[in-house]
Amino acid sequence: MSTDKKSGARAAWLKQLHQWHWISSAMCLIGMILFAVTGFTLNHASDIEAKPVVASRNEQLPDPLASALRPASDKEADHKAPVPAPVREWLAKTLDRPVDGRDAEWSRDEIYLAMPRPGGDAWIRIARDSGEVEYEDTSRGWISYLNDLHKGRNAGTAWSWFIDLFALACLIFSITGLLILKFHAVSRPSTWPLVGLGLVIPALLALLLIH
């Protein structure tokens, strides 16, 4: 292959790499800022105080709904199942928060529905004999919310898919960046020593200082 053809092929590859690099970096930008900030807050979680705000309520199910929840027998086995739709609708309206169709824990005496979410927690307990409803909601603030998004904790399927796609975009961004460095390394002698430091420093820290 002639020198001109080699130069043309090199320029075409470099142009393609730059295109993939800037597209993936644009897709990653906001997510990278979020994960970098929350990486810092998670690393210093013990130094950043969270002040949970707890709200509690007690309500009473209407008789028709309470009757539908009473145990069919004294020997009813413990099991997991969603709360009936009419009860969920009443709870959502009365407690002013969505109640989805996730499984609740049913025992002879009560129904317990846990509703964890990023940055907080909530639960509902329903006494099956009386229909008394006990509700508690805990909010741990925005830092806890963002930290939980970083970890994918209680964030649902859609956020889990986002993390996977974000990780793929970051991988493309990093690999194309590495290949671009390879193209420019001839005129930039410090390229590979700096890349090597990025590997050697964490490796030494892990081997020598983490026990």
Domain identity same for 156 and 123: no
Residue 134 lies in a domain: yes
> Considering its fold, how many domains does the chain have in total?
2
The vertex-36 CA angle with 31 and 38, nearest 5°, equals 95
Q: Kindly state the DSSP code that residue 109 receives in the 8-state scheme.
A: S
Q: Which of 80, 105, 139 is the last residue before a domain boundary?
A: 139
CB 198 within 8 A of CB 46: no
Q: For the packed helices 3-43 and 156-184, what is the interaxial angle rounded to 10 degrees?
A: 140
CB 58 within 8 A of CB 84: no
The vertex-158 CA angle with 39 and 19, nearest 5°, equals 70
Task: Identify the pLDDT of residue 109.
Answer: 93
Domain identity same for 80 and 33: no
Q: Which of 139, 166, 200 is the last residue before a domain boundary?
A: 139
Domain identity same for 125 and 170: no
Residue 2 lies in a domain: no
Residue 164 lies in a domain: yes
Cα→Cα distances 1→9, 14, 63, 186, Å: 10, 18, 87, 21
Domain identity same for 100 and 31: no
Residue 4 lies in a domain: no
Domain identity same for 59 and 129: yes
The pTM assigned to this predicted structure is 0.83
pLDDT tens digit at each of 211 positions of the chain? 566 667 777 788 888 888 999 999 999 999 999 999 999 999 998 888 888 999 999 999 999 999 999 988 777 889 999 999 999 999 999 999 999 889 999 999 999 999 999 999 999 999 999 999 999 999 999 999 999 999 999 999 999 999 999 999 999 999 999 999 988 888 888 889 999 999 999 999 999 988 7
Domain identity same for 185 and 200: yes
Edge-to-edge strand ranges of the sheet holding 103-106: 53-60, 132-139, 120-127, 110-114, 103-106, 79-82
Task: Identify the pLDDT of residue 4.
Answer: 65
Task: Identify the pLDDT of residue 2.
Answer: 62
Domain identity same for 78 and 42: no
Domain interval for residue 88: 53-139
Closest CA to 76 of 153, 133, 128, 139: 128
Domain identity same for 62 and 128: yes
Domain identity same for 133 and 203: no
Domain identity same for 66 and 129: yes
Strand partners, 105: 80, 112
Task: Identify the pLDDT of residue 12.
Answer: 84
Residue 31 lies in a domain: yes
The whole-angstrom separation of Cα 49 and Cα 157 is 29
66: left (phi over 0), alpha (psi -120 to 50) or beta: alpha
The whole-angstrom separation of Cα 169 and Cα 163 is 10
Domain identity same for 30 and 68: no
CB 74 within 8 A of CB 108: yes
Closest CA to 134 of 125, 145, 143: 125
Closest CA to 27 of 176, 172, 175: 172
Residue 144 lies in a domain: no
The whole-angstrom separation of Cα 95 and Cα 122 is 11
Residue 188 lies in a domain: yes
Domain identity same for 21 and 70: no
Task: Identify the pLDDT of residue 73.
Answer: 77
Closest CA to 144 of 41, 31, 40: 41
